[in-house]
Each structure stands twice: as C-alpha cells, then as structure tokens.
Amino acid sequence: MRPDLSPFYALIRDRCGIQIQGNREPALDQAVQARAGALGISAAGYYARLAASPEEFQELVNLLTVNETYFFREPDQIRFAVDTLVPRCLAGRAPGQPVRILSAGCSSGEEPYSLVMALTDRYGERVGSLFSFLAADIDSLVLAKAREGRYCEFSFRNTPPDVRARYFAKSENGQESLLAEPVKGRVRFSQVNFLDPALPLFLHDCDIIFFRNVSIYFDTDTRRTIQEHLAGLLREDGALVYGTTETLANDFGILPLAREQDVFYFTRNPLALAEDFFPAGTWPAPTVGDTPQAQPPLILCCPPPDPEAGRPGPDEAASLGGESPEAGLAAARRLLDDKRYAEALARLEAVQAACPGQAAAGILRAYALVRLGDYAAAEAQARCLLEADAWSVDALLLLGLVAKWSNRLDEAMGWFKQAVYARPGCWPAQYALADLYRQAGEPALAQRFYRATLQLLEQGEHDHGVACLPLDMPREEVRFLCRHQLAKPPHDPGPAGRR
C-alpha cells in the first residue's frame, strides 16, 4: 500500500523549499520506497529516520532534485555578463580583488564552467587573477559529477564547435568528453541549501550571482526567502540574474529590476529600471509563482533536458504486461510528467504494438524520443503521424522542434508556418516563429509574430489545436516576453542603459 506522503511534503519543503505535490509525487513515492527498502524499514519508520538524520535527508534530496542543464544555456545572458557586467565590475577594481561570480543551483557544473570558458576566451590566462568562480547546489551527488568534469553529448547541444574543441577531450572509451584541467580547477564547488539563513561566509560579497532555472521548483514564499538570502550575498553594486522565463515571478521588490541590452536582472543600483520601458499597469500579473513548473516550456526554451536513462531495449517495450492500452497510455503520461522518458517510451511502444492506430501514443512517443535526444526517430514518427493526418498540429510542432534543435532553421520555420496555417490560433507556433525571426535578424517579422502571439493570449481560452503534445507553457511569462520585444522599435537593437 502506498504510504501517506503528506508528512514528507512538509518536511522537504520546510528544510529545502522543494515543492513535491503534483507530477513530482510519483518521484517522491519511488524515492521513499527505495530508501526505506535499502534500510530495511517501513515507510512510516523511514519518516522517523529521515526527520532525525541529516545524512539520510541528504540521500533523499539527492533522489528528488531535478538536474537539467547544458553548456551555454541562455547564451544572451552569458554574453551580457561577459560584455557588460564584468567590465563594469573590473573598472576601478584594486589589484588582488577578483570579481566574484557565483552559480547558485549549479547542478552538474555546466553553467559555472561556461562562464569560465567565456571569460577565458576574453581575458586569457589573466582569468585566474581577475575572477573567483563559486558554485553551489544542495545535491551532493550532482556536485561530485560537476567536480569530475565528464559530460555526455546532451550537455553540448548549445556549445560552439570551436569552444568544444579548445576545452574538451574525448574520454578513454570515446563516449564522454573530459573538461580541460585548467577550466575545471577554476571553480570551487560547495554543497549549500540557499533556504538556510546562515549561508557560508565565503559566499558573501559576490559581484554577479546566476540563479537560473531553479526557482521554478519553489513556491512563492520560498522564492521570496531565497531571494532575500541571495541579495544578502551581493555587493552593493552586484547583479542577480534569473533565467529568462523566471524573471517576472521573482519580482518581489527586494531588489529593483533592471533592463539592459534586452537582458533583465536584479540589482540595488540599476542603470536602467525595467519600469522605464514598461509603464506602470502594463506588466502582466505574476500568476506563475505558486505552482512549480516541472520542466522548462517545450516551445519557448531551447533543447530538451539531458535524461539519465538511455533508450529502452526491444525486450523492455515488448508488451503491456496485461495492462490495457488506455492504462498504458495514462501510465506513460505520468512517466513523461516525471521526466522518466526512457520508461515512458517503453510503455508507449507497447501501446503502439497493441493498438497501431493510436495517434496519442504516437505523438507522445515522438515527444519522448525528442526528450531523449533521438531526433531522427522522433522525426520519422512525426512524419508517420502527418501522413495519417495532414492537419495534425502536434505532428507539425514536433517536426518544427526537431528541425530547430537540429539547426535547420529555415525548415523549422516552414513547419511552424504550416501549423499556423492548419490552426491560426496556435500561439505556440506563432511564438516559435517570432523567436526564429528574431534570431535570424529580421526584427520586423519577429514583431509581427510576437504581436500575433500576444493577441491570441489576451483573447483568453481558444483552440490552439494541440491535442496531446505536452505544453507546459507559462502564458503570463510569454505575455511578458512578447511585450518586452514589442516595446522596441522594429530596427532598434535594444536600449543599453539609457534612461
């Protein structure tokens, strides 16, 4: 019988702020059963052990944290730090006083190492004397991986080839890439719970703090408390940078929100307040906060997460094991929600074997393949779906995503345009086109699609045509980003610190 998980929810939230309710419940159930089984005690007995033992609490937390990252994620923010924030910090800095940069919630290390590489490209060997790189996470296992500096292919999905060639070498078995020792040695990793008010002294007086794609797992009160703690780590003129889609939900008034060069960040002494560009009353209401996002938005963010598990073998997907196709499909959806993509794929392939014409299973199978990084198989599945239904918005979006992440941008635009043609109310496709045109340097066309997206979102509920594809998309954040882009003249590269 499944144990009562409610005491575990409260203990985990109170100690480290992680929200478990919703699609994370199966992960907690699995983790509790695994740890109780390993200790040879009941779930009820395990709760008593967990409450009394910091070591056991850490073991459970290691099973619950979500570690999704890759090198040079959200590169505009990294570029802004290198080009603008860092030179500002260096100006007038006395010799022997390095610029202190903290990656909070650093996961397996891709973010702090990206900053080291970007600044090494700019400052060469002086990077060791000019900068101090700190990184912290609550998960002790993922920190061990970060210190090791061994990465699989998924970590490089946004890494320029020349950067990879300079800073990485193939492992002995050729299956992984090894980070260069000089880069690896620059970062000091520490296990830290940022909900703890007594943060280590060595984290204080930071010039720049990155806290990106972490706060989505916390409720509003926890996010506010953590921001207060992070603000206490900043120097007077320091900057706190959240992930792009998290910014709005973390504007608590603790630190002013600034905008420069299309990048938003928090600081005590902003050169350009965000309110200068968004008049009072025009900001969307921050409704995202209380429900943690289980994963980044599929259409809005770049490539899918790096799954720990690989593709299932043929034996794993052989049958439903007595389960009905409907139950198998429901179980697969739960696995997808919990990011157990390989297990979901096995279930979906079993459903397809039992019911070859099951369209929903085909769509979700293609989605699982995308999340596992098997773009060729995902594309083949989506094309089969499109042959069966030429108006399938799900299939068109999947083909657009695969083309985009495979760097076939013109083809991606074609698929997203077909999705809009098939269903004009498909705002995810409209937004994807806006983002692609912005990247292509066509601001007038980009604004046209940003405007269309915003109009659709402000109409409220409407038929976007997506039948089965998971779209965990924060609409209020999308409105915010559209307004941000539409606030600029079509040929204006964006204000840089003007008042």
Closest CA to 342 of 306, 388, 376, 381: 306
Q: Which of helix, strand or coil describes residue 100?
A: strand
**Which are the contacts of 362, defined by CB distance < 8 A and separation ≥ 6?**
352, 381, 384, 385
CATH superfamily of 325-473: Tetratricopeptide repeat domain (1.25.40.10)
Closest CA to 239 of 428, 399, 81, 427: 81
pLDDT for the residue numbered 187 = 97
Burial class (CB in 10 A: 0-12, 13-18, 19+), 152: middle
Q: Are 360 and 467 in contact (CB under 8 A)?
A: yes
* pLDDT (tens digit per residue) in 438-463: 878 888 889 999 999 998 888 865 67
Q: Are 214 and 104 in contact (CB under 8 A)?
A: yes
Beta-ladder partners of 264: 259
Strands 168-170 and 177-179: antiparallel
Q: Which of helix, strand or coil describes residue 203?
A: helix
Boundaries of every domain in the chain? 6-64, 75-276, 325-473
* pLDDT (tens digit per residue) in 330-339: 888 888 877 7
Class of domain 75-276: alpha beta
pLDDT for the residue numbered 214 = 85
pLDDT for the residue numbered 294 = 31
Q: Which residue has the higher pLDDT, 450 or 62?
A: 450
pLDDT for the residue numbered 5 = 78
pLDDT for the residue numbered 465 = 83
Query: Does residue 286 register a pLDDT over 80?
Result: no
In whole angstroms, give the CA distance from residue 10 to residue 17. Answer: 9
Q: Which residue has the higher pLDDT, 407 or 462?
A: 407
Q: Are 475 and 297 in contact (CB under 8 A)?
A: no
User: Please, how many CA atoms are within 13 Å of residue 453, restricted to the half-sphere of its CB?
Assistant: 30
Question: Rounded mean pLDDT of the chain?
Answer: 81
pTM: 0.56
